Amino acid sequence: MSAQAKLLLRVTGVAKRFGSVIALRAAELELRAGEIHALMGANGAGKSTLVKVITGEFPADAGEVTLAGNVTVFRSPAEARRAGIVSVYQDPALVPDLTIAQNMRLARVPLDAVRATMRELGIERLDLSRRAREIDYPHLRLIDLSRALASKPRILILDEITAALPADLSERVFAAVREWRRRGHSVIFISHRMAEVAALADRATILRDGVTVGVTATRDAEDKIVNMMLGAEVAKAAAAPQPRASAGIAPQAAPALELRGLTYGHALSGVSFRLGAGEILGIAALEGQGQQELFDCIAGVRRANSGEILANGRALELRHPADAIRAGLVLVPANRLHALLPQRSIRENVALSSLGTLGAWGPIAMRAERKRVESAVERLQIDKRASSEVRRLSGGNQQKVVIARWLAAEFRTLLCFDPTRGIDIGTKRQIYALLREVAGQGAAVLLFTSELPEIRLACDRAIVLFAGRISGEMPASEADEARLLRAAHGLAAPVRAEAPV
Amino acid sequence: MSQALALVRGHTILALILLLAVFVLGIEIARPGTVTPLWISNALLFAAPLAILGAGQTLVMLTGGIDLSVASVATGAAYILATNAASGDGTALALSLSLGLIVGIVNGLGVAVLRVQPLVMTLGTGLMVGGAMTVYSQYMLASQPHVPAIIQTLGAGKILGLIPVDLFLWAAIAALMLFALHRTGFGRLLYAVGDNREACHLAGIRVWRVLFVDYVLCALLAAIAGLVLVGGTNAADLSLADVYLLPSVACVIIGGTSIFGGRGGYSGTIVGALILTVLTSILTLLDVPEPVKQILYGAIILSLAAAYARLTE
Amino acid sequence: MGAVHILRRNGGSRSFSHHLRAAGMPLLFLASILATLAIHRNFGAFDVQSLALGALPLAMAATAQAIVVISGGIDLSVGSMIAVSNVLSASLMQHASFRQSLGLAVLIIGLGAVQGAINGILIILSRIPDIVVTLTTGFIWGGVALLVLERPGGGAPSDFLEIGAGADLSPFLPNALLLLIVAVAVIWLPIRSSRLGLSLYASGSDSVAAFRSGVDPRLARILAYGLGGIFCAVGGVSLTMTTGIGAPLAGAYYTLSSVAAVVIGGVSLNGGRGGVLGPILAALLLTLLPMDLIFLNIDPNYGQVIQGTLIVLVVMVGGFAAFLQGRS
């Protein structure tokens, strides 16, 4: 496609604020006909807000959206759809209590067209009479995409559609997006994954703090994009750490955490491993291989059917997260919103973990609490400008608050479930540096991450889960993406259940 | 102007107090000479039972709940007190408070342990208590209900003819509420549970214990409010506190506590209860027919709550 | 391959509490009919008729509440709206002819739609939660009812009263029951099966997703409350039809009982799920109960206790099932 291709959509000077929070200051975007255009930026840069302004979910405070030369203001996503702009939002837009077929009827999308696009995405076997509530998240995203494609949009917008998709499903999305470009339509593609963007998109627009800071062709522009996303100074400070050499862990009498034959329903069967103090153990897996259940069982959120969980050599009976916390096992869940009190202050959020026992219902020692909270906040360099309500913090800072909670309390083993999902590179590196620091001080860390290259950067050792079993184990130095992926697809020979530490 | 608005947003309680002052001023302008020490004393006397009901309602609304059984519990407690006065003040008092305790425990079990929606649960227990009282009253027709002197003093008495006795009870409850909500772990947990129940669970908090105690406290406060009410009227009937259901919710909402939980406090409820009491007083002074009064009262509550919702957005 | 795996694992089994909700109400109703027959051997056409007559206003209230709850709201002004149409019809029809009465009934039902829509509009404009708004408008409509008719009175032409009282088709199919069926079939069923009905369910289930699918959740809300108002008005007029008078305070009972019927009838208060059949059966059940108590020579005031207990039990059983499931 040529650089002189027709301009299809133009966004100029769009601003939007929510109460005291400014989401967009001056967003610019130029989308050509027949291109895949990446929209990039750190968390809170305003990408999703811009998408919602374009598709009419809410009006902009200032600025213009021009579609094929005409200034347009959509009052609802339905109006945008009629004009040929359809978005697959970050959270699924299917009504949970309606069946898939009813959802299509609601959106006035013909069923035959949806069936056709579902076939293209390889999900034609899905039963259309099932309620959206009963379908898992990755497939909901694909159905959402099928619906979007079925209304034949001139402009398709995908907001982090691959964030929670396993690799195989992501590939199908990429194929569909390329096919859409081939037919001469345009795609706006939002993703945090640089590799995806480089492989898929023609050009990228980069947002920082609600302002468009640059437009570039994506080929060989990774460093440039990162610099623009973060601003020059931050980028320097957050220089990438080197891959870790396989650290020799001293054999210990009693590991910080040990699992013996943990089984949970069909999700986990006979999972055993040891995690030493001072070690960071990475878990790699495709979507839905039992990693969620594994973390939940260890954190006391779910009860395992059989098997043992030992902390420092002591077998645990975990009926409630409180039992796990008492044993020093603390969880940082994937979804920050599951762990935070959005309307309360940083202080109350961080101090929450100390209120778990009945004895803590009495008067609070305010001064001691403030000291404890402040030291944790400082250690994590949390931006305190909006400290009265954590919902006003950026995603990265919110995640830091969750971690600060456990730093302010006491723990022996930190269970981190995809702590950097949807977080910008700067904060991501800060979080990994912190995990390293925590481990250096003698804590154990169990880390699941959906981004395989990070295992090598952040961990000492890696375990791969496949269909609820351990399908591979290797030191971090050998945990390159190819090896992890093979094991994650169950291709490597399973290791013995009792892996040597 | 926008600065003033920002100031109000930051200190909503100031706006409420201002509104209260405007209401009082309005009365004085419309009917000069109305606002006397005696009038203020009466306003406080009448505001106290509402504010005590509002205290319980605040506790449950902070957790994202609501208690629609407070009116029935208040009425029931009052009725039990009056019908058992013959067996001694202590016994009568214990019996009526134990109604609050029992209903609180049932509500708590339903909401906290079995996770029933508070609205439905308390609606059900409210019906149960109301019906049980009707049945109970038919067995009690023979006895001569009367209100113990000490409760009459509590609900209607004034020291030096000016300071209402129930003000002391109210002040004690208010002090406890404010301290508990802002300076104790339990208070923190009420906000936390109301804001994000799941997060509390993950942080190792036994959420059901918090909610259980919360609903028991609310029902006990409702029973106490019933006692103050019946002391004031000196007559127990089965619709004593019915008219207080809407105001008990309204004073909390007007006071800035979110019905979705996690935000608010008791100081707002105090001013909310005073505003509603003064409003009633204004409507009485206007000398309009009862239905019109009712319509105006509802309309004003609605506009106040709407104004508040816009202000704090 | 992961895809196939996930597809298979989620293949269709529904939760226990879901089954309980779906099957519970018809079973409960059947059981109470059987119990009634056992208690009252001579239960016959007359009793069926008085049951239908007694239950008609509550069934309407339950339908109104169900529609609002399905769309994600709750209406605590149901009783007062019924009271308004009740006193309006009783005072306007008092000296009217039969034909005029029919016209007035249609007019009052139209007013009911307006009344309900006002509830919805207020909720949208004020941005206050439904429960607070309708608690307050309930207070206001209650005042309006008192304004129309200060104390019980009024009336309607006898031909008009006959519509409800008779049983023209079969002694076991009283007109009141027919009226109920016709009202639901004419007003609700066409909407339910249309995209409009879908939009009600959708906005009750997830209003953001509904908006993104092309539904205007504000319109859906006004529509739901408006429909609720229509059924309340039908309930109010039928109250006049069945009692012959208007009573400004008679409505109070219907607010709480309509919520009770919805809960017992298996409609989730979270919105988006359920139908009107369960609540209507629950309304019949709640009317049958005091009748049974009278047959048994028990103080009918126990009816309210039983109603409250039933609510608590039904929701607790649901909660208990979920509780057990969480344990296992």
* Residue-wise pLDDT tens digits, C173-185: 888 888 899 999 9
Q: Any idea what the CATH number is for the domain that residue B125 is in? A: 1.10.3470
* Residue-wise pLDDT tens digits, A397-409: 888 899 999 988 8
- In this complex, the chains that touch C, judged by 3 or more CB pairs closer than 8 A, are A, B
| Contact check, Cβ <8 Å, B290/C146 | yes
The stretch A183-210 carries a mean pLDDT of: 89
> Measured between CB atoms, does A198 come within 8 Å of chain C?
no
User: If 0-12 CB within 10 Å is exposed, 13-18 middle and 19+ buried, where does residue B242 land?
Assistant: middle
Higher pLDDT, B77 or C266: B77
Residues 6+ apart with CB under 8 A from A344: A389, A390, B191, B192, B195, B262
Place of tokens 């009495």: A362
**Quick one: pLDDT band at residue C5, thresholds 50, 70, 90?**
very low
Higher pLDDT, A245 or A196: A196
| Contact check, Cβ <8 Å, A322/B186 | no
Q: Which residues pair with A208 in a beta bridge?
A: A211
Which contiguous run of DSSP H or E holds residue A259? strand A257-264
* Residue-wise pLDDT tens digits, C121-131: 999 998 888 98
How far is it, in rounded angstroms, from Cα A153 to Cα A173?
Answer: 16
| Contact check, Cβ <8 Å, B306/C319 | no
How far is it, in rounded angstroms, from Cα B211 to Cα B189?
Answer: 9
**Quick one: pLDDT band at residue B131, thresholds 50, 70, 90?**
confident
Mean pLDDT of chain B: 90
Q: Is the pLDDT of residue C250 over 70?
A: yes
Do C21 and A153 form a contact (C-beta atoms < 8 A)?
no
pLDDT at C270: 85
> Measured between CB atoms, does A108 come within 8 Å of chain C?
yes
- Structural domain includes residue B163: yes
Q: CA of B202: which chain A residue's CA is closest? A: A321
- Structural domain includes residue B33: yes
Distance from CA of C172 to the nearest CA of B (A): 32
pLDDT at C10: 32
Q: Is the pLDDT of residue B283 over 70?
A: yes
Place of tokens 């995409």: A145
pLDDT at C199: 95
The stretch B133-155 carries a mean pLDDT of: 82
Handedness of CA B179, B185, B186, B189 (dihedral sign): positive
Distance from CA of A18 to the nearest CA of B (A): 10
Do C201 and A98 form a contact (C-beta atoms < 8 A)?
yes
The full length of chain C comes to: 328
Handedness of CA A449, A454, A458, A461 (dihedral sign): positive
| Contact check, Cβ <8 Å, C12/A130 | yes
**Quick one: pLDDT band at residue A224, thresholds 50, 70, 90?**
confident
Least confident of A377-391, B27-41, B199-213, C244-258: A377-391
* Residue-wise pLDDT tens digits, C160-212: 888 877 777 777 788 888 889 999 999 999 998 899 999 999 999 999 999 99
> Across the interface, which of B66, B132, B301 has its CB nearest the CB of C305?
B132
Among chain B, residues having any CB pair with chain A shorter than 8 Å are: 183-186, 188-189, 191-192, 195-196, 198-206, 209, 258, 262-263, 313
Looking at mean pLDDT, say which of A265-274, A441-450, B283-292, C75-84 comes out highest: C75-84
pLDDT at A19: 66
* Residue-wise pLDDT tens digits, A246-262: 444 455 567 899 999 99
Question: What's the structural domain count of chain B?
Answer: 1
The stretch C274-284 carries a mean pLDDT of: 90
Q: Is the pLDDT of residue C108 over 90?
A: yes
Higher pLDDT, B263 or B102: B102
**Quick one: pLDDT band at residue A362, thresholds 50, 70, 90?**
confident
Domains of chain C and any CATH numbers? 47-319 (1.10.3470)
Q: Is the pLDDT of residue C314 over 50?
A: yes
pLDDT at C23: 63
Domain interval for residue B108? 12-311
Q: Which one-letter amino acid corresponds to residue B113?
A: V
- Structural domain includes residue B23: yes
φ, ψ of residue A62 to 5 degrees: the values are: -155, 165
Take residue C203 and report the two structure tokens written for it.
């906005």
Higher pLDDT, A90 or A284: A284
How far is it, in rounded angstroms, from Cα C184 to Cα C189?
Answer: 7
Q: Which residues pair with A273 in a beta bridge?
A: A259
> Measured between CB atoms, does B130 come within 8 Å of chain C?
yes
Distance from CA of A377 to the nearest CA of B (A): 18
pLDDT at C119: 96
How far is it, in rounded angstroms, from Cα C197 to Cα A412?
Answer: 54
Strands (E) located in B213-284: none
Take residue A404 and report the two structure tokens written for it.
């600060």
The stretch C82-87 carries a mean pLDDT of: 96
The stretch A118-131 carries a mean pLDDT of: 91
How far is it, in rounded angstroms, from Cα A450 to Cα B244?
Answer: 55
Domains of chain A and any CATH numbers? 7-234 (3.40.50.300), 257-355+365-488 (3.40.50.300)
Residue of A337, A354, A364 to mutate when probing chain B, most B C-beta within 10 A: A364
pLDDT at A232: 57
* Residue-wise pLDDT tens digits, B161-213: 889 999 999 999 999 999 999 999 999 999 999 999 999 999 999 999 999 99
**How far apart, in Å, are the Cα atoms of A29 and each of A11, B52, B128, C74?**
5, 57, 62, 43
List for chain B the helix, strand, coil content (%; round to 5).
80, 0, 20
Q: What percent of chain A clears pLDDT 90, i.e. is strictly above it?
A: 46
- Structural domain includes residue B222: yes
